[in-house]
Amino acid sequence: MSVEELQIAITRLSAQELIELMAWLEEYYAQMWDRQIEEDLEAGRLDALLADVDKEYEAGLSQPL
C-alpha cells in the first residue's frame, strides 16, 4: 500500500477511528525512538555525549529537576 493510498484511507476514518489510529501511531513511534536510542547506546554513538554530561555533573553544573 502506498502512502497516498494510506492517506485516502485515513480520510475515510470516523473521528473515533482517527483518535485510535493517532494513539497507536504515537505509541509505535515512541517504540521506534526507544529502539534507536538503545542501538545508539550499544554502538557507542552516545559515549561522547554521556561523557560530557558526566563532566558537567561532576563540576556541579547540573540542577535537580
Domain boundaries, the chain: 14-58
Prediction pTM value: 0.69
On the question of pLDDT at 62 being above 90, the answer is no
Return the pLDDT at 29. 98
Question: Taking the CB of residue 29, how many other CB atoms lie within 10 A of it?
Answer: 10
Residues composing the chain: 65
pLDDT digits (tens, 9 = 90+) for 3-60: 999 999 999 999 999 999 999 999 999 999 999 999 999 999 999 999 999 999 999 9
Measured CA angle at 29 (ends 39, 32), to 5 deg: 15
Grid coordinates belonging to 44: 557507542
pLDDT at 65: 83
pLDDT at residue 64 in the model: 81
Question: Going by C-beta distance under 8 Å and a sequence separation of 6 or more, which residues neighbour residue 21?
Answer: 10, 13
Q: Contact at 8 Å (CB) between 10 and 21? A: yes
CA 23 – CA 2 distance, rounded (Å): 21
Give the per-residue pLDDT at 63.
84
